[in-house]
Amino acid sequence: MLPTPQKFTLLAGSAEGPTRLNAFDNALLRAGIGNVNLIRVSSILPPGAVEVKHLEIVPGSLMPTAYGTITSEIEGEVISAAVAVGIGEDGQYGVIMEFSGRCDRKQAEETVTEMATAAFKSRERHLARVLVQATEHRVGRIGCAFAAVALWY
């Protein structure tokens, strides 16, 4: 079993690429986690996890990550990805929500904030604050928008 992460950071990036995979890879690079191996996780922030603005990660590391991503080949289309971290009382676990869609950044931010609020309501917990990170991209040839909460030790 992996240890429980103690740190988290919110990231977002968008980019173009010659293929869908290259667009995704370039968006990861823009977000700052293009040189790690993502392990996609569901949406719970460990109790007591501390937000850090920048993670120093060894290339090739396995990184638990909750993320939303969208790739499009429709020239001129606006795509967005966003993540939100709902934080409750000190020392308790939080909730991470991810969203991606064919919309602008503002709509993505509003949607993911509503999702975090609903998640706390479903758990009958008090939501103290919500952290949000988002990106928007207008597609040229092949574009990708990516937003994530990376968890680290």
Catalytic residues, by residue number, are 37, 42-43, 98
Q: What span, in angstroms and rounded, lies between the C-alpha atoms of 98 and 109?
A: 10
Closest C-alpha to 82, from 33, 15, 148: 148
The string of DSSP letters for 98-148 reads EEEESS-HHHHHHHHHHHHHHHHHHTT----EEEEEEEEEE-SSSEEEEEE
What would the two tokens of residue 105 be?
Answer: 């950044």
